[in-house]
Chains A and B, each alone.
Chain A
Amino acid sequence: MPRLSLISDSADRELDAVRRTVDSFDRIAGVDALISTLRAHALRRMHAVTLDLIGHSRGHGFLVLGNWELDDSPQTAATFSELVRPWLDAVGVRELRLLGCSTGASERAREALRKIALGARREVFGTRRYVSKRDYDGGGFVSDDILVNANGMAPDRRDPVGFLLGAATAVPLAALDLGAGPRLTNDQPLVPVNEAIATAIIDFVDGARSWVLPGLLAEPNPIVLWSEHNSIHRLELLLDCQVVRAYGAYPDDEHGRLFRVRDPLGLSRYLDEVLRPRSALRARST
């Protein structure tokens, strides 16, 4: 998911270490700088789902960005509702993460998260322990497991599919001799496509590794079928295009093999473009 990392402009060794670790970031000297940075990204049509605000915490665990302390005062909430929120909308930000030490650990800190969330009308997360440069890599913050919301709860699983890398098999999509899989019936959302469309769909799939999950409780929608080398090929799209299931010739493929989709939103939009009747199919299947 695209994200923006904005780091407090304070001059100190700890933040310098973070700045040396993260590849791409903006320096923020205060609320005005935050707004102008968001405005600049919006004007460049930059899109970011996650906004990481990185700095030290002060007092009860209030994040400090330059000269701005994001405390639990009504003024901070009003700043987010009046001044910051329009630019969060413009950039497409859905969640804010206040990445300082223990910014979600105390009751006052969580009250700040709550008020900022109300003002920004977005999910806002803090941290439940100290944070250091070891919580960052070149792409930004990596310790998602320490995030908490205003209620002290961990965020909803970012990955709704929940596939664990450790459970993946090394069987790639290219190794499968795709087949028609289990018996098909007309009440299923079948979508016959040509080879070009099938190739385009497969291009969205991360075919490097696969999972086998017998008993997966997810209905396919749609089931894409195409003919190649005089045989029917089948690919099932699951969980709002986040996963595809293919049936091949491996001994354990009775339940099919699951592959992650690199860009579920992109695949969904592509299908909407090329498969207009899909909505009708969805209606029929429900």
Chain B
Amino acid sequence: MATTQLLLTGVPAFVAAVTSSTVIQFAIDENDFNPANLIAVDLANNTSLPPAQWANVEIDISTVGGYSTIGPRFRSGAYIGAAYIAEKVRLKFAAALADWPPSGDDLYQYQAVLRANGDVRRFHGFKVNVFAPTVGTVAHLEFIPTGGTAGTSTNPRRWIDLADASVVDPAVNGFTTITPASPVGTIGAVFLTSTAMTSQAMDRPKIPTAFGM
């Protein structure tokens, strides 16, 4: 079966206009009232569509398993939260997203990958620092939270087997940049599976801190 994948980027969402129960426009800054900066999506075109129709996806689902938290239907849905938008939406509204991600953060920290290959697997990006020499394929990684810096004592550290596809999306897929060959002090991306995020207790809020996932 052919592999299909979706790249989603998480942004803050402050819903500014509701055109129908699922068609909305939102700003990523609660103080930005410039209509030119509104991002339009149809929440019905979400990741619950079968992989064959992923070309139509605009945003991730807001129900269990998804990363978006706005809506999912208006006017009863949430007006403030996170929106994980598809790559085509991110590119279409690049001007409105010029200031995203915040300074110091990398875009992959806000990105998720959905990959369909028989089943659908979810991955989310994390910024890590190789903390100690890697033993075989098992790396000791310092996870740098959004807005954080390497070397902070509160940053969580985990031993991660970079060769275990049930934990990490392999580097060959193009999203994870840390490999067993990465020397100590390398800062880069690892994309963890959704199950690993739970087991490693890495599914902490990302955006916005108070309202996001």
Enumerate chain A interface residues (CB-CB to B < 8 A): 31, 68, 73-76, 78-79, 81-83
Contact A82 B73 (CB under 8 A): yes
**Which residues of chain A come closer than 8 Å to B76, judged between CB atoms?**
81
Would you give 18 A-B contacts (Cβ < 8 Å), ordered by A? A73-B213, A74-B78, A74-B81, A74-B211, A75-B61, A75-B64, A75-B213, A76-B64, A78-B63, A78-B64, A78-B69, A78-B71, A81-B72, A81-B73, A82-B62, A82-B63, A82-B72, A82-B73
Nearest chain B CB to A255's CB is how many angstroms away? Answer: 50
Bound complex: CA A273 to CA B71 (Å): 45
Q: Please tell me if B102 contacts chain A, counting CB pairs below 8 Å.
A: no
Digitize B69-110: 1 where CB-to-A-CB distance is under 8 Å, 0 elsewhere: 101110011100100000000000000000000000000000
Known: A31-B64, A83-B63. A78 touches B213 (CB 8 A): no
Chain B binding site: helix, strand, loop or mixed by DSSP? loop
Nearest chain B CB to A267's CB is how many angstroms away? Answer: 37
Contact B64 A79 (CB under 8 A): yes
Nearest chain A CB to B72's CB is how many angstroms away? Answer: 5
Q: Please tell me if B65 contacts chain A, counting CB pairs below 8 Å.
A: yes
Known: A73-B213, A74-B78, A74-B81. A68 touches B64 (CB 8 A): yes
**Which residues of chain A come closer than 8 Å to B77, judged between CB atoms?**
78, 81
Contact B73 A75 (CB under 8 A): no
Contact B69 A74 (CB under 8 A): yes
Q: Please tell me if B66 contacts chain A, counting CB pairs below 8 Å.
A: yes
Q: Output the nearest chain A residue to B212 by Cβ-Cβ distance.
A: A74
Nearest chain B CB to A148's CB is how many angstroms away? Answer: 24
**Which residues of chain B come closer than 8 Å to A76, judged between CB atoms?**
64
Q: Output the nearest chain B residue to A119 by Cβ-Cβ distance.
A: B76
Enumerate chain B interface residues (CB-CB to A < 8 A): 61-66, 69, 71-73, 76-78, 81, 211, 213
**Which residues of chain A come closer than 8 Å to B65, judged between CB atoms?**
75
Nearest chain B CB to A230's CB is how many angstroms away? Answer: 63
Q: Which of B61, B63, B66, B77 counts the most chain A CB atoms within 10 A?
A: B63
Q: Output the nearest chain A residue to B78 by Cβ-Cβ distance.
A: A74
**Which residues of chain A come closer than 8 Å to B61, judged between CB atoms?**
75
Q: Known pairs A75-B62, A75-B213, A81-B72; list 5 more (Cβ under 8 Å).
A: A74-B81, A75-B65, A78-B63, A79-B64, A81-B73
Q: Output the nearest chain A residue to B82 by Cβ-Cβ distance.
A: A74
Nearest chain A CB to B197's CB is how many angstroms away? Answer: 13
Bound complex: CA A82 to CA B66 (Å): 13
Bound complex: CA A68 to CA B76 (Å): 24
Q: Output the nearest chain A residue to B198 by Cβ-Cβ distance.
A: A69
Nearest chain B CB to A83's CB is how many angstroms away? Answer: 6
Q: Which of B72, B73, B81, B211 counts the most chain A CB atoms within 10 A?
A: B72
Can you list the 5 inter-chain pairs with the closest CB atoms, starting with the nearest?
Answer: A74-B69, A79-B63, A79-B64, A78-B62, A78-B63
Bound complex: CA A78 to CA B48 (Å): 14
Nearest chain A CB to B80's CB is how many angstroms away? Answer: 10
Bound complex: CA A75 to CA B65 (Å): 8
Nearest chain B CB to A117's CB is how many angstroms away? Answer: 13
**Which residues of chain A come closer than 8 Å to B211, judged between CB atoms?**
74
Bound complex: CA A81 to CA B71 (Å): 10
Bound complex: CA A75 to CA B81 (Å): 11
Bound complex: CA A81 to CA B77 (Å): 9
Q: Output the nearest chain B residue to A32 by Cβ-Cβ distance.
A: B64
Q: Output the nearest chain B residue to A71 by Cβ-Cβ distance.
A: B64
Nearest chain B CB to A31's CB is how many angstroms away? Answer: 5
**Which residues of chain B come closer than 8 Å to A75, judged between CB atoms?**
61-66, 69, 213
Nearest chain B CB to A64's CB is how many angstroms away? Answer: 12
**Which residues of chain A come closer than 8 Å to B62, judged between CB atoms?**
74-75, 78, 82
Q: Which of B62, B65, B69, B76 counts the most chain A CB atoms within 10 A?
A: B62
Q: Which of A68, A75, A76 counts the most chain B CB atoms within 10 A?
A: A75
